[in-house]
Every structure is written in structure tokens, then in C-alpha cells.
Chain A
Amino acid sequence: MGWKRKSDDAEGEDGFGGDGDGHKRRRKAAAPAAPETKEKREILPSTIKNKERRSAVHAKLKQQKKLEKRKKLKERDAAEKRALELGEEPAPKKIPRTIENTRELDETVCRPDDEELFAGNDCDEFSSILKRERAPKILLTTCRFNSTRGPAFISELLEVIPNSQYFRRGTYDLKKIVEYANHKEFTSVVVVHTNRREPDALLIIGLPDGPTAHFKLSKLVLRKDIKNHGNPTSHEPELVLTNFTTRLGHRVGRLIQSLFPQEPNFRGRRVVTFHNQRDFIFFRHHRYIFDSKESKRTDSKDKKMKNDEGEKVPQEKVIARLQECGPRFTLKLVSLQHGTFDTKGGEYEWVHKPEMDTSRRRFFL
């Protein structure tokens, strides 16, 4: 039965019978010789039990696909080139399919006109800091164990986040530390956690009873390991938070925003970026400068813009140039808890579970 269906499909694809009508009987009878060759071509590798033969067939199929793809690409390029030479408009470029394009529809994506969102923002824990009523004051500490790169990382974080102080951990409980910080009017506590002598996780606790976000830290690169790094100044940095789309992402974005002062000093030209891509938050710290670049465009489009004098008009473009300074790392949200740090009795807003990873197109931030 399967074979018959396949030959039907094959004929349907190529319109093999040559006739446009859909009578099945005709199709089956139409090409007696063809289905045999079709069957040979359409054998699925998964039906072959012999591993060597199966892998050979699979390799051949892949090679064929690769060749077809390359051919298509060449044709497309040739067509575009021809169109440009002739002076016509080339065919519009097709949009490639990316994971971001095909992301699963998430109903918690923030919409720009959401009243509930604004109301929530007004009465959430960060509103007082974000409305500039309180200035952010950060307490930085580590976990109980030593680590090789920990101290260097802490010193760099102290430079990145203005108005932050480092306290040695000792053997204090986190809950006691939170109490102490509340007493001394800090606005957040940041704990750098170490595993196997490497900084491994970041715990950001908002105060007085703000949410606790637990991030997994990876790919830490310190300033001295970056080529051509710059040295940061002490001006207040600008924040760039991109791609935090869902409600959860928005909340995390606001949490990160509450660590930094809300009056950036634009003359300092320092920018701190938290870029969310597929639930990974990439942290970068740059110094930037705007340059104007003269580019003489030589496309055929320019021909219209030429004067009768025949000069080419130089176009001035502005570009931004970045120099990286400061550490570079990526964060991934593991859990977001509603109150301050309390693993036993706390109420979790979001916890990452392995079963959430089953779909490659589903992201939560």
C-alpha cells in the first residue's frame, strides 16, 4: 500500500501521467514503466536495514540536495547580475527563513498599546528607581568558595555598574545579607556564584522585597583577554536593552534597568548592552563614537543622480564605531522568584524546566 501511495504521489508531483484529470485509475495505469524507476529514486533511507547501504544512500541524497541548492544559488546570482546589467530592477530578494522568523507564537508578547502593561509597570518593584525617586545602589558579593577568575570579574563589574560596592562574603547567609542590605538602603544585591573555580551564576536580588532572578553565566571574557580593548571611564553609561519581547522578558529587562542610573551621561559615550537572542542575554560594554564616512556609490542607481556635469555625488553616511571595553558574558535566566531570596518558601514566577527545551522555536524572554 505504501508503495502504491508513493508512486501516486510521485506522479502527482511531476504531473507524470501528462493528463490533468485526477482519476486515480488512469494514473495508475498510465505509466507502467515509470513507477519502477521512480521507486528506485524515492527509496527512503530509513527503510533500508543494512547500515552501510543506508548510509551510502543517505550520503548520496545529501550530495544531490547540496548540488541542487548550489545550482539554484548560481541561477539566482546570474539572474540578478543580468538584471543589473540591463538596468532593470532585479527580482526582490527573498526573505530567508530564520528561527526568529519562525518563532512559535507567544501570547505574552508585549504590545505597544497595552494598558495593563503600563499599569503593571507603575506599581511594580522597580518603578521607584526607574522614575528616579531612588538612586540605584548595588551590593556586590560572591559565594563562599574561592574562584580563580572571580575577583577579576568582580572588579570589572564594579567598574561597569556605577555606584556599586563589594563586600566579602564570609559565611553569612544570603537572607542575612539581604537584611543587612535593606538596612543600609541598597537597591539591589548581586551575587556572583562560583562553580569549579569559575564564575558560574549571577543572582540579582531587588530590594526591599524585589524579585530574585537567577541567571546562568557563561562565556566570560575578561577585559585583558579582549584584543584592542578600551578603558571605561566613570561616566554614567547608556543602556541598550534589545529584544525583550514577552512580559517575562519585559520584567527581566526592567530588573536589569534598575541596576543602572537613569540619567546617562551622553558625553561619556559609554554604552552597556544587554541583547536578548533566543533566551540568551548577551552583555557587552563599549565606548562609541560617531563618524561620517564618505562613500562614493557606483551602482547604476547612481546614474540617475549624476549631474549633467557628469560628477558623482559623494554621499556622506554616519556610522558608529565601537571599542569594546569591559567584560563580555552571556546570561540565561534559570528562575525568577517573586520575593527576596528564599528557595524553600518562595513563590516562583518562572522556573526553567528541561521539558521547556523540547521545541526549537519556543522562547520565553
Chain B
Amino acid sequence: MQHDEVIWQVIRHNHCSYMAKITAGIFCRNEYNVTGICNRSSCPLANSRYATICDHDGVFYLYMKSIERAHMPNKLWERLKLPKNYEKALEIIDKHLMYWPKFLVHKTKQRLTKMTQMRIRMRKLALKTREKIMTTPRKEKKREARREEKAEKAAVLEKSIEKELLERLRKGVYGDIYNYPVKEYEKVLEMDSLQAANEDEEEEPEIEYVEGYDELEEELEDDIEDFGGLAINRVHATSDNGEDEDGDEDEDGDAEADRKRGRKESSLALRNVEKGDAVSKPKKRAKVLVEVERENADERQAAVH
């Protein structure tokens, strides 16, 4: 015996698992509910004659329940496949729910309309690309943030950028834009480094410096170029004594012979000190003369080469 009223009283006033009360209203979560609202006339449990539309994989089915089968829950719902064409489906609903209460027929048709519209929209959307939201676990986000902080501290950015720019300036990437005497700066650097490497034995040649120091300062720079260059050359030279270096030195113009000799002596002295030989003045002078002779020989040799 089916007492819909009794069922409804029990469900509504005591407890129904499918009922969902939210701020917008009272809804029914039962899958067979036509409207989705918890109502006396929309409750599939409290109505022994009921009809719904359900969607499986894009195909609509008309489900019907009648009181004759109320005692067989297994065979309670009768399923009927609806065609994809909207008008034809409407006609079929009309045919099958012909003498049913108007409320149910109306609501079923409404549901069919809504579902058709949804189906069209879903198909359109599936063609478009949607962004997929990927979540990252919180732990990873925090770990990344921590590592980034530490990496930023480890990369002393300002210093490294400045260093890179100075490297480029030194290499001459900027050409002549800066009027910056890069070469002279390098010479000064090398002079520093060589002087730092020297011991106090250098005092003798330094004394020679003092007398002409102020005059020589500008020319010093010119000559230190060779001097510095020579220092580099010496590093690379293997078996050469010092002949090539002397030759280079002398190339710059014998007009300034006096000054140069003074300087040559000192530079020679320095070089000798670096080589580790003992230095004495008379020997130096003799060497100077010898250099001059050799120079011509070197030039001849250079010409031959």
C-alpha cells in the first residue's frame, strides 16, 4: 500500500537524506528529482507516479515510475531513450505522459529544454581550449620561496654587474667612448704588482729615479707601457735572454736617449732583480752600450724574419 502523504510527512518533518538546506532555499539531491527543489510535488519518494529526464553520456532518457510497480523497487523505474532532436523528444514526452498531471509534464519538458541547452554549451566549450588549474602543494611553494631568498643573497647582483661592466671596459668592448686611459690604468696596476713583488734591494735604482722623478713621470707612463709589455713578454719568452725586450724598448725613439737610459737602467735593474742576478752600476752602464749595439743587430734580425 502506498501512502504518499505518510511518506511525505515522515520525510519532511523528520529527516530526509537527500534534503540540502542552503541559504538560497531547500534543495533535493535525489538524482530522480525533476526540479531539484524539495517540494511535496517534486519529491520522487513521496510521489508514486513520477517522471524525470536523466542524461547518460550525452543521451537523454525519460524515466517513469508508476504505482503498479511500487512493490518492486527493482523494476520501479521505466527507462525510455529520447532522440537527440529536441522537437521529436518533446513529442515523445507528450505521447508517453499523455494523461499524467500537468505539473509533471510541464516540469519534465522544462528539464529537457535545460538539459539540451547545457549539452550544446558543453560541446562548444569542449572545442575551445580551457586553462587547467594546476595546484602546487604548499610545502613546495614555501620551499621555493626560501631558496629564492637565499639565492638572491648569494648572488650579490650589484657587485657582479659592476664587475662584469668593468671587465668589458678593460677588454675594450666600449672602444674609445670613455676616454678612459685603460692602458695606463693597467700599467699602474702592473707597476703596483711588480713593486709589491720586489724586495728592498731595489733601493739603488730607486735613488736614480728620485732625481728625475718629477720630469720623468709623464714619460714614465709611456715607457712603462713597454716595460709592462715587456714584463708580459718575458713571461712568455722561453729561451730568449733579454735581447728582444731590449730591442723593443729601444724602438721608441733614440732621441730621448738620456732619459731613456736612466729609465732603462732602472727597468733593467728591476728586471735583473727579478731574475735574481746581482746588480752593480758599472755593469749596468756597460750593458747599456751593449744594448745599443745589439739593437741594430736585432733590427736586422727582425728584418730578416
A/B interface sample: 26 pairs, CB < 8 A: A174-B129, A175-B129, A240-B161, A243-B155, A266-B173, A266-B175, A275-B161, A277-B154, A278-B147, A278-B151, A278-B154, A280-B147, A280-B152, A284-B157, A288-B161, A288-B165, A290-B178, A304-B200, A305-B195, A307-B213, A308-B210, A316-B188, A318-B166, A320-B162, A322-B158, A330-B152
Do B174 and A266 touch across chains, with their CB atoms under 8 A apart? Answer: yes
Whether A242 sits at the interface, judged by CB under 8 Å, is: yes
* Alpha-carbon gap, A320 to B166, bound state (A): 7
Q: Mark A317-332, 1 if CB is under 8 A from B, else 0.
A: 0111110000000101
Do A301 and B196 touch across chains, with their CB atoms under 8 A apart? Answer: yes
Do A318 and B162 touch across chains, with their CB atoms under 8 A apart? Answer: no
The size of the chain B interface, using a CB distance under 8 A, is: 40
Name the B residues within 8 Å of A240 (CB-CB). Answer: 161, 164-165
Q: Is the interface of B mostly helix, strand, loop or mixed?
A: helix
How many residue-residue contacts, CB under 8 A, span A and B?
104
* Alpha-carbon gap, A103 to B160, bound state (A): 20
* Alpha-carbon gap, A237 to B246, bound state (A): 45
Q: Which of A242, A309, A319 has the most CB of B within 10 A?
A: A242
**Residues 67-98 of B contacting A (Cβ, < 8 Å):** none
* In-complex Cβ contact of A267 among B148, B173, B177, B213 (8 A): B177
Residues of chain B at the chain A interface (Cβ within 8 Å)? 128-129, 131, 140, 143-145, 147-148, 150-152, 154-155, 157-158, 160-162, 164-166, 169, 173-175, 177-178, 180, 185, 188, 192, 195-196, 198, 200, 206-207, 210, 213
Do A284 and B195 touch across chains, with their CB atoms under 8 A apart? Answer: no
Closest chain A residue to B132, Cβ basis: A343
Name the A residues within 8 Å of B178 (CB-CB). Answer: 290
Min Cβ gap B181→A in Å is 9
Supposing A242-B164, A305-B192 touch, asked if A277 and B169 sit within 8 A by C-beta, the answer is: no
Closest chain B residue to A319, Cβ basis: B162
Do A320 and B151 touch across chains, with their CB atoms under 8 A apart? Answer: no
Whether A108 sits at the interface, judged by CB under 8 Å, is: no
Name the B residues within 8 Å of A266 (CB-CB). Answer: 173-175, 177
Beyond A278-B147, A305-B196, A318-B185, 7 extra complex contacts between A and B, CB < 8 Å: A280-B152, A282-B151, A282-B155, A286-B161, A304-B195, A308-B206, A332-B144
Whether A218 sits at the interface, judged by CB under 8 Å, is: yes
Supposing A174-B129, A290-B178, A290-B180 touch, asked if A280 and B162 sit within 8 A by C-beta, the answer is: no
Min Cβ gap B24→A in Å is 27
Closest chain B residue to A98, Cβ basis: B154
* Alpha-carbon gap, A216 to B136, bound state (A): 12
Min Cβ gap A54→B in Å is 25
Min Cβ gap B161→A in Å is 5
**Residues 244-303 of A contacting B (Cβ, < 8 Å):** 266-267, 271, 273, 275, 277-280, 282, 284, 286, 288, 290, 292, 301
Whether A185 sits at the interface, judged by CB under 8 Å, is: no
Supposing A277-B155, A288-B165 touch, asked if A318 and B195 sit within 8 A by C-beta, the answer is: no
* Alpha-carbon gap, A47 to B70, bound state (A): 69
Name the A residues within 8 Å of B198 (CB-CB). Answer: 304
The size of the chain A interface, using a CB distance under 8 A, is: 46
* Alpha-carbon gap, A362 to B298, bound state (A): 58
* Alpha-carbon gap, A332 to B144, bound state (A): 10
Do B169 and A318 touch across chains, with their CB atoms under 8 A apart? Answer: yes
Whether A76 sits at the interface, judged by CB under 8 Å, is: no
Min Cβ gap B224→A in Å is 14
* In-complex Cβ contact of A290 among B128, B164, B169 (8 A): B169
Q: Is the interface of A mostly helix, strand, loop or mixed?
A: strand
Name the A residues within 8 Å of B154 (CB-CB). Answer: 98-100, 277-278
Q: Mark A342-364, 1 if CB is under 8 A from B, else 0.
A: 00000000000010010000000
Supposing A100-B154, A304-B198, A354-B140 touch, asked if A315 and B188 sit within 8 A by C-beta, the answer is: yes
* Alpha-carbon gap, A292 to B178, bound state (A): 11
Whether A225 sits at the interface, judged by CB under 8 Å, is: no
Whether A72 sits at the interface, judged by CB under 8 Å, is: no
Closest chain A residue to B207, Cβ basis: A308
* Alpha-carbon gap, A125 to B148, bound state (A): 30
Do A219 and B148 touch across chains, with their CB atoms under 8 A apart? Answer: yes
Q: What are the 9 A-B residue pairs with the smallest beta carbon separation, nearest first?
A: A277-B155, A278-B151, A320-B162, A320-B165, A277-B151, A280-B151, A266-B174, A240-B164, A173-B129
Closest chain B residue to A276, Cβ basis: B155
Do B160 and A275 touch across chains, with their CB atoms under 8 A apart? Answer: yes
* In-complex Cβ contact of B161 among A273, A309, A330, A332 (8 A): A273
* Alpha-carbon gap, A50 to B162, bound state (A): 54
* Alpha-carbon gap, A308 to B143, bound state (A): 61
Closest chain B residue to A195, Cβ basis: B133
Min Cβ gap A279→B in Å is 8
Name the A residues within 8 Å of B148 (CB-CB). Answer: 218-219, 280, 330, 332
Min Cβ gap B42→A in Å is 38
Supposing A288-B165, A307-B210 touch, asked if A318 and B157 sit within 8 A by C-beta, the answer is: no
Name the A residues within 8 Å of B155 (CB-CB). Answer: 243, 275, 277, 282
Min Cβ gap B160→A in Å is 6
* Alpha-carbon gap, A72 to B75, bound state (A): 88
Name the B residues within 8 Å of A288 (CB-CB). Answer: 161-162, 165
* In-complex Cβ contact of B128 among A98, A173, A219, A332 (8 A): A173
**Residues 60-107 of A contacting B (Cβ, < 8 Å):** 98-100
* In-complex Cβ contact of A322 among B147, B161, B196, B210 (8 A): B161
Name the B residues within 8 Å of A174 (CB-CB). Answer: 129
Closest chain B residue to A219, Cβ basis: B148
Name the B residues within 8 Å of A286 (CB-CB). Answer: 161
Min Cβ gap B280→A in Å is 21
Name the B residues within 8 Å of A280 (CB-CB). Answer: 147-148, 151-152
Name the A residues within 8 Å of B207 (CB-CB). Answer: 308
Name the B residues within 8 Å of A219 (CB-CB). Answer: 148, 152
* Alpha-carbon gap, A354 to B150, bound state (A): 19
Name the B residues within 8 Å of A243 (CB-CB). Answer: 155
* Alpha-carbon gap, A144 to B130, bound state (A): 10
